[in-house]
């Protein structure tokens, strides 16, 4: 089996260079995000509704990652430390890491849920929109698709041994677009309020642009085995 040893820091530039625009799946990622902007315009979805869709997808990913960690059989812990000490590849370490991830990742999303609750007031959005339908519909579709991918992942035999730390931290990339959009969206909303302009669509474009960038980067690496595909130099 191939273990992921000799870990090194990977730059965003290096990850971006790994994005293969010749792959149909890469354009599928881009297309799906552009489609969200399109339907947001056509069906008048608000920025907060689009962010809630993204939020529930992140929660689903987090829950699957919790079980992904628990179901790890052979794994390495190279470079993974807790309280300054190297973590040993034991069952206890796996369980404690899964529980820590569940509460830590969950706490982040609880805080973001509070912020998202204030977004309609911040952006002065209309309540007359089909957002609840889209939230439920996209959540079900995403849950089914991710569940299928998770099943394939768990039933596929690989000669690579995933790194426990990398598997735990991969979903945190999802937090970046949400965090930046909440911060920058606040400034955009304030400017829109001052200029008496609807800035909801601009916030949606901001979110989806950042999300597309992060999606392409995370799509370019092996989600299960971490950064193995960029550690060949």
Instruction: For residue 28, tell me if it sits in a domain.
Output: yes
Instruction: For residue 140, tell me if it sits in a domain.
Output: yes
Q: 227, 221 in Cβ contact below 8 A?
A: yes
Q: How much is the pLDDT for 96?
A: 93
| CA distance linking residue 142 with residue 183, whole number of Å | 26
Whether the predicted pLDDT of 87 surpasses 50 = yes
Q: What is the pLDDT of residues 127-167, one digit of tens each?
A: 555 556 777 877 888 788 788 878 888 888 777 788 888 88
Residues 6+ apart with CB under 8 A from 64: 146, 147, 150
Whether the predicted pLDDT of 30 surpasses 50 = yes
Q: What's the domain range around 14?
A: 10-230
Winning range, highest mean pLDDT, from 106-110, 117-121, 203-207: 106-110
Q: How much is the pLDDT for 127?
A: 54
Label residue 122 by pLDDT band (50, 70, 90). Answer: low
74 DSSP 8-state letter: S
CA 62 to chain centre: 8
Instruction: For residue 102, tell me if it sits in a domain.
Output: yes
Q: How far is CA 97 from CA 8, 11, 103, 228, in A?
A: 21, 25, 10, 21
Instruction: For residue 2, tell me if it sits in a domain.
Output: no
Q: How much is the pLDDT for 173?
A: 80
Instruction: For residue 16, tell me if it sits in a domain.
Output: yes
Instruction: For residue 1, tell me if it sits in a domain.
Output: no
CA R_g for the chain: 19
Q: How much is the pLDDT for 128?
A: 53
Q: How much is the pLDDT for 141?
A: 81
Q: What is the pLDDT of residues 42-73, one digit of tens each?
A: 877 777 778 888 888 889 989 999 999 999 98
Residues 6+ apart with CB under 8 A from 211: 33, 54, 177
67-71, 115-119, 197-201, range with the lowest pLDDT: 197-201
- For the chain, the domain total comes to 1
Instruction: For residue 154, tell me if it sits in a domain.
Output: yes
Match 């595909």 to its residue by tokens: 229
Arithmetic mean of pLDDT over the chain:
77
The residue ranking higher by pLDDT, 44 or 231, is: 44
Whether the predicted pLDDT of 7 surpasses 50 = no
Q: How much is the pLDDT for 23?
A: 77
Name the pTM for this structure: 0.77
Instruction: For residue 203, tell me if it sits in a domain.
Output: yes
82-91, 171-180, 183-192, range with the lowest pLDDT: 183-192
């Amino acid at each position: 089996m191939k273990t992921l040893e000799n870990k090194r820091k990977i730059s965003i530039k290096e990850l971006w260079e790994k994005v293969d625009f010749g792959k149909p799946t890469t354009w599928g990622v881009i297309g799906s995000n552009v489609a969200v902007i399109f339907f947001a315009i056509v069906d008048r979805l608000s920025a907060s509704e689009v962010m809630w869709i993204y939020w529930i997808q992140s929660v689903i990913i987090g829950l699957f990652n919790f079980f992904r960690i628990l179901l790890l059989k052979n794994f390495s812990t190279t470079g993974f430390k807790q309280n300054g000490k190297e973590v040993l590849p034991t069952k206890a370490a796996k369980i404690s890491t899964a529980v820590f991830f569940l509460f830590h990742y969950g706490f982040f999303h609880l805080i973001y849920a509070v912020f998202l609750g204030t977004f309609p007031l911040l952006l002065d959005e209309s309540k007359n929109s089909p957002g609840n339908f889209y939230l439920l519909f996209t959540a079900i579709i995403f849950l089914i698709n991710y569940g299928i991918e998770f099943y394939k992942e768990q039933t596929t035999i690989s000669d690579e041994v995933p790194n426990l730390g990398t598997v735990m931290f991969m979903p945190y990339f999802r937090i970046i677009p949400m965090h930046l959009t909440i911060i920058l969206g606040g400034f955009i909303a304030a400017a829109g309020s001052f200029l008496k302009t609807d800035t909801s669509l601009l916030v949606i474009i901001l979110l989806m642009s950042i999300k597309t960038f992060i999606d392409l980067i995370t799509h370019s690496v092996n989600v299960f085995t971490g950064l193995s595909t960029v550690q060949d130099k």
